[in-house]
Amino acid sequence: MSETEAPVVSTAVQTAAKPAKKKEEESFIAFLLKLVIFVAVLRSFIFAPFSIPSESMLPRLLVGDHLIAAKWSYGFSYRSLPFSLPLLPSERILADTPARGDVVIFRAPPVGDTDYIKRVVGLPGDTVQMVDGVLLLNGTAVPKVRIADFEVPVSGNTRCYSRAFAAKLSDGTDVCRYPRYRETLPEGRTYEVLDLGPRPQDNTDPAIVPEGHVFLMGDNRDNSEDSRFPAEPGRGIGMVPMDNLVGRATVMMWSTDGGAAWLKPWTWFTAARWSRIGGTF
């Protein structure tokens, strides 16, 4: 082959390579689009992550917990979509009623983009009241039994409400120690609550849950803005429309005490609350 023919072969190879490269790029873009659609569908209709920002659900949930919520449990509305995109109706489709005791994620009234998490204690038609710190459903007291105090280590995510609840374990660990009780709903479902002592919210007027709504409460009864209070910023959430439900808490995905630092990889492991990971609701 002469030297003058070499460039012709090289040009032919380059010309053939261009369509192959373009095809690879188009395949990669198509893969990314499919991945985005898959994640969007998964996030909108199947599962969604949720992080715990406050202590209103102590002792079950701690600040720094990260859980997975099942999105299909109660049906779908535009609130099921990321950023509440108006691609679905405001009323739920495939709607289902939660059970008493469910831990639910919802958009608090008035409807916004902020997710909240509380426990369902009252369903449509129920009369809910608090009397001296005891929950009454339809005039009957929900059994409340004192059990061992709840102890949570002081950390970057946890501080005691007051010095009265500060304690120290035998190994020198600083903890917050709170009075803990077990409640049992009429259906036999049990869960634990905290009661820090007499508070104004320990006594409320009877409230009838309207149709299409639920009565929600935090397990940390003295530190929860819930359905005992009117739906006003900084006060409470009132009765929550079921159309505002986003999902049901299902499994603990991750938990950290707040002691991790990005530039110190070993702290990613020491800050993890390993015993909490994998817990179900």
DSSP collapsed to 3 states, 88-129: CCCCCECCCCCCCCCEEEEECCCCCCCEEEEEEEECCCCEEE
DSSP state of 10: H
Return the amino acid letter for 184.
T
Q: How far, CA to CA in Å, does 214 sit from each of 101, 104, 201?
A: 11, 11, 19
Chain CA centroid to CA 240, Å? 16
Integer Cα distance of 157 and 261 in angstroms: 13
90 given a catalytic annotation: no
Report the length, in residues, of the chain: 281
18 given a catalytic annotation: no
Give the active site residue among 56, 73, 77, 80.
56
Residues 6+ apart with CB under 8 A from 217: 118, 119, 121, 135, 224, 226, 227, 228
φ, ψ dihedrals at 73, nearest 5°? -60, -40
Integer Cα distance of 187 and 142 in angstroms: 11
DSSP state of 5: G
User: What's the angle, vertex CA 101, arms to CA 98 and CA 102, rounded to 5?
Assistant: 50
Closest to 79 (Cα-Cα) out of 121, 100, 102, 48: 48
Give the active site residue among 71, 118, 155, 227.
118
SS3 of residue 267 by DSSP: helix
- 6: β partners: none
DSSP state of 256: B
The catalytic residues are 56, 118
